[in-house]
Amino acid sequence: MFAVETSGLKKSFDKTEAVRGVDLRINKGDLFGLIGPDGAGKTTLMRLITGVMTPDSGSIRIFDTDALRHKAEAGMMLGYMPQRFSLYEELTVEENLEFFASLRSVEKDSFNRQKNYLLKFTNLEPFTKRLAGKLSGGMKQKLGLACTLIHQPQLLILDEPTTGVDPVSRREFWQILDSFLHQGMTILLSTPYMDEADRCTTIAFMNNGVLPVVDTPQHMKTLIQGTMLEVVLKEPLRAKQVLSRSDIYRHVHILGDRIHIYVDKPDSGYIADIKQILNNEAIAVDQTGFTAPMLEDVFVSIIEKERA
């Protein structure tokens, strides 16, 4: 049994085909990351899975329940936090939880237990009586998560949950997610941040409404056959322009004080060659070395391939 299983899922808006036949399987207990360029169809796919939106065709099963036929039942098994989750700013933390519990018809005993547990887990206990509007961005995000989980769903669906959250709050948010994961929850989330994708057990890369690559982050990185040559220098842009003229070093990416050059193997001959090219243009090199491709490099290379 899968936590989520879709087949032939399609959804169009006017002339745009947002989701064009998605077959997706998410194992129970997975932390499943959805990545891809803006406009790839990630949000639409999540809305279809959560039942907020109805597909034009295809099927969806949530823990083996037909989500299109038994919408309410499937809905109870999942919690969905959209990109702009609306809390009631004029209600307190506790009142917000009560409100979302009443929407989900959570019984009083169960509500109290789950409320106390979630408040503790999200470190919101000291702020129970505070108005949601008076919380910091990171705290609002945690309250949103708590409201999403008030009916104890086994599947949590999050659309770019950490956009706009600072690094300290982001780290805390992820620690909370990881703890839920270790209690057996299944999590599906979309993210523009590759370091977050790296934490997932499985990643699906979405582009133009389909999922051309679904894999573990570790294995996805091996999709790039070569390696990255890192050069630390003072004039990265000029170096990129000079190197891009050669046939071998076409893929040059600037990262502040250094550049990454894609090469087919970690051959020190490349270093000597590049130093020579840059030296001819009077570009001083501080340091060189090889580094493994990052998930971001894979992301860009998939898009380049699809464009070609």
Which of 27, 110, 112, 179 contacts other proteins by CB under 8 A?
179
Nearest distance in Å: CB 249, other proteins:
16
Instruction: Give dist(CA 101, CA 98) in Å, integer.
Output: 5
Q: Does 45 bind other proteins (CB under 8 A)?
A: no
Which of 68, 77, 214, 303 contacts other proteins by CB under 8 A?
303
From the list 48-56, 60-68, 145-153, 236-244, the region that binds other proteins by CB under 8 A is 236-244
In terms of CB distance, is 6 or 190 closer to other proteins? Answer: 190
Rg of the chain in Å (alpha carbons): 23
Query: Cβ neighbours of residue 85 under 8 Å, at least 6 residues apart?
Result: 144, 147, 148
Nearest distance in Å: CB 86, other proteins:
19
Total residues in contact with other proteins, by rule CB under 8 A: 45
Longest dimension (CA), the chain: 76
Which of 66, 257, 264, 267 contacts other proteins by CB under 8 A?
257
**Cα–Cα nearest to 56, from 112, 94, 18:** 18
Instruction: Give dist(CA 87, CA 62) in Å, integer.
Output: 26
**Cα–Cα nearest to 116, from 93, 83, 139:** 93
Strands of the chain, DSSP E: 2-13, 16-27, 31-35, 57-62, 65-66, 78-81, 155-159, 186-190, 202-207, 210-215, 227-233, 252-255, 258-263, 285-291
Which of 17, 163, 213, 214 contacts other proteins by CB under 8 A?
163
Q: Does 181 bind other proteins (CB under 8 A)?
A: yes
From the list 9-17, 87-95, 228-236, 267-275, the region that binds other proteins by CB under 8 A is 228-236
Which of 8, 137, 212, 289 contacts other proteins by CB under 8 A?
137
Instruction: Give dist(CA 141, CA 137) in Å, integer.
Output: 6
Nearest distance in Å: CB 267, other proteins:
23
Name the residues that contact other proteins, by CB under 8 A.
31, 35-39, 136-138, 160, 163-164, 166-169, 171, 175, 178-179, 181-182, 192-195, 198-201, 232, 235-238, 253-258, 296, 299-300, 303
